[in-house]
Structure formats: C-alpha cells, structure tokens
Structure 1
Amino acid sequence: MEASKQNRQEYVTEILSRLDERYGTEKETFDFPQPWQQLVGIILSAQTTDRQVNQVLPQLFGTYGTPAELGKADVGEVMEIIRPVGLHKTKGRNIIACCRRLEEEFGGAVPQSIQELLRLPGVGRKTATLCLADVYHIPGVTVDTHVFRIARRLGWARGKTPAAVEKELEAVLPRTHWNRINFQLVEHGRTICSARKADCKICPLTPWCEKKGVEKQHEERNP
C-alpha cells in the first residue's frame, strides 16, 4: 500500500504503539553500569546477543577492572575470555585498543560526541550512536541490519546505506522514540521479520506496513 503523508504519520504512530506494547520501552542494559564497561559490551555485542555478552562480562571485568588494565591486557587472554561471543580475535584486539585510547586521550572517560567516539578502535557509527543512547541517553537512531531492513520494508526509508536510512528515520520518527527504535526492531527482526522470511501472518504491524520488497521475497520462495 502506498501511504499519503497524512496517512503515513498515522501509520507511524500505530506502529510505534504496537512496538511499545510488544517489546517494551526500556532496553535491558549490560550488568556492568560504568560507561567504559557499557562501551566494551556494545563492541562485543556485534553479531551476537546482549545475553551472550553478559555471560562473559563478569570474568572480563573481574580480571580487568579499569580501562587502563584492559588496555594493557594480554590479547590472547582476552580472546579466550570472550570466545563465546564470536569474532573473538577481532573483538579482543578492538576492546584492548579502545581502552588504551580511552586512557591515553580521554583519561578513561567515554566521550559524549559522535566525532570523538569514532576515533576509538572498534567503534563505528552504529556503536557510537548506541553508546550515546545507552550510556548518556542522548537521542539518536542506531541503524543496524535489522533496522535497515525493516525500515525499508515498512516504507519509512529508501536509502541504500545505513547513514541515509538514519537520516530518513530521524525525519519520520518522533525524537522521543529514537533511542528505543533499535532494540525494538532488532527483536522484531529476530523473531518475526527476518532477512530470509517476513512472517506477515503473525506480525502485529501488518495493517500499517507497506511491505516493500516482501511480495518479491514471497514470489522467489513460491515460484
């Protein structure tokens, strides 16, 4: 369905309401509250779940209690601790280098700007916006693969890059919803609207979804 500008805003409001009802409005954070610990957790969470990350954090932070300590850690020992989260070699090198940079340039404090965060090893725009939202509650739309895919299916965005979709979503969504759209669509993408299959029959968003690309997906599975 093609939505007029007025109808689209109504659709957005309805969809956000359904997302709030199904997935809640507060994201579960990592069990360790210090900003640098949250940042490390976010870096480790790439292509895995927060639950899996929380399983390795007690040993990681029990062994290395400050950014300075983790920044000087033996990379092999760190890799072994975080092995269960996947990509442990890359992530191990990144969190050590990130903590070293935090200590050297920011006195161990996590910066509060996108530009400064992007100077840290292992921190891309997705990690930076998520860090600002989770640690400092600074409004921002975090676009990962789930948000990118579902925003386009909903008809909220047409951009071909995460940066373009981020800008489009900032224009579509009320600012008060920016920080929670990521965890809501991540969960929605994992349970209902996956890359391989959009399970529209059970989706609570179906009445307001434009289903961009979904019809083609169904045709390819059922020639």
Structure 2
Amino acid sequence: MNKQVRNEILACLEQTYGDTKTALNYTTAFELLIAVILSAQCTDVRVNMITSRMFPRLNSAEKMLELGQTGLEQEIRDCGLFHSKAKNILATCQILCQKYHGEVPESFEKLLTLPGVGRKTANVMLSVAFGQPALAVDTHVFRVANRLKLATGDTPLAIEEGLKKIIPREKWGQAHHWLIWHGRKICKARKPLCTECPVSSLCPSSTVL
C-alpha cells in the first residue's frame, strides 16, 4: 500500500473516531489494571458489570488481597477464566504491595513482571493510565490493521511494530482506539460491514464492488 492511501485511511479513521476512549470503567490506574486483566476473553460490558460491584469496596491491592483466592473467585465468577484471573490478580496485588507501595508502576518492563500482564495490557496501561506513547494490539487492532494493510503480520508484535512505523508517535494511543472501535462497530470478525465502512473505497479487503 502506498503512503498516500495509507495516510488517507488513517485520516478517515481519525475523523470518524476522534477522541474515543476505552470502554472500560475505572477511576484509578489500579482499577484500570484489574479491568484490563479481567477483559481477556470477556466483553467490556461484562467486565464493567463485575467492576461496578467490586470497585466501590475493592479499589486497592491491599483490599483485594484480603479476599484470598476463593473470595476473589466469587467476585468474578461471571467472568471467563475466573480461576486463573483471580490467581494472577492476587499475585499482582502481592507484588504491588511488596515492591511499589500498592501503586501501579509506570514502566513497561516493570508492568511485564506482573502476573496476568502481557505486552498488550502493559501498553494499555502506559497509554490510557499514564499518557505515555504506546500502541496496544488486541484482537480488533490485529484484525483491522491486517485487513486495511496498514500493517501486516502473524503476531501482535509484528502489527505493533508496523503500526508504529506509519503512525506519528504522539498519536499512538489515539490510533489504538480508532482501530478498536472500527473493529467493534464496522470491521467485525465474521461479517464486516463493508457497505457501511467509511474507508471501504480504500480498503484492499473490502467486499464492496
């Protein structure tokens, strides 16, 4: 794809989705971290239902640890993979209390040492919670980037690196949300709504004749 077409696609996505934010509800970096861990293979709507029950009472690493494995599992039982998520959350809370005074570290490398935190979650934290230039690649970003040929690859890391090369550093965090919302609303996994897509005329994967 040539640079002109690529830039037109990005400009259109920016115009369409503007300053959209994460759909997860949170008020602190700790709450966002827990919400993102819970969001693996779970919808944001479901996560928000769970956290709306939890966060008024359990809004710190210390309080979360007091629950223990069984208690936390009961809190998040209606979330997929609740057993492993509870285990990771408690292990993460333990590290936060022991090493960071209960606060979430603002370093990519330190975030990656937390159980349940991978590259995507670390980038979300840097971008959304701390305002640092970072570009997280979830399933939506991976799919949309490949279909639009903005970046191509078989792994999230390849897509992340490709997108960072073509998107200005100061817009990495915003672009993450453009691609997510486009994937959720239009460029869906099974049945993309190409006839409703604002970039269908520029998309190499469009089904519109």
Unaligned runs of 5+ in 2: none
1:12 aligns with 2:6: yes
Partner of 2:78: 84
Aligned residue pairs total 208
Partner of 2:65: 71
SS of aligned partner of 2:26: coil
Partner of 1:221: none
Q: Identity across aligned pairs (percent)?
A: 38
The amino acid of 1:42's aligned partner reads V
Q: What is the CA-CA distance between 1:98 and the residue it aligns to?
A: 1.0
Partner of 1:186: 180
Q: Which of 176, 194, 218 lines up with 2:170 in the alignment?
A: 176
Asked whether the 8 Å contact 2:142–2:156 carries over to 1, the reply is: yes
Separation (CA, whole Å) in 2 of partners of 1:25 and 1:49: 21
1:30-59 CA distances to partner (integer Å, 9 max, x unpaired)? 443121111111111222333322221132
Asked whether the 8 Å contact 2:20–2:178 carries over to 1, the reply is: no
1:96 aligns with 2:118: no
Separation (CA, whole Å) in 2 of partners of 1:50 and 1:184: 16
Unaligned runs of 5+ in 1: 219-223
The amino acid of 1:200's aligned partner reads C
1:108 aligns with 2:102: yes
Asked whether the 8 Å contact 2:30–2:59 carries over to 1, the reply is: no
Asked whether the 8 Å contact 1:48–1:86 carries over to 2, the reply is: yes
1:41 aligns with 2:32: no
Separation (CA, whole Å) in 2 of partners of 1:157 and 1:98: 33
1:62 aligns with 2:52: no
Partner of 1:117: 111
Q: Decide which structure has greater helix share.
A: 1
Partner of 1:152: 146
Separation (CA, whole Å) in 2 of partners of 1:166 and 1:65: 31
Return closer, same or farther for 1:28/1:186 CA change in 2, 3 Å cut-off: closer
TM-score (norm 2): 0.89
Separation (CA, whole Å) in 1 of partners of 2:181 and 2:150: 18
Separation (CA, whole Å) in 1 of partners of 2:188 and 2:121: 21
Q: What is the CA-CA distance between 1:29 and the residue it aligns to?
A: 5.6
Larger Rg: 1
TM-score (norm 1): 0.84
Return closer, same or farther for 1:130/1:13 CA change in 2, 3 Å cut-off: same
Q: What is the CA-CA distance between 1:160 and the residue it aligns to?
A: 1.8
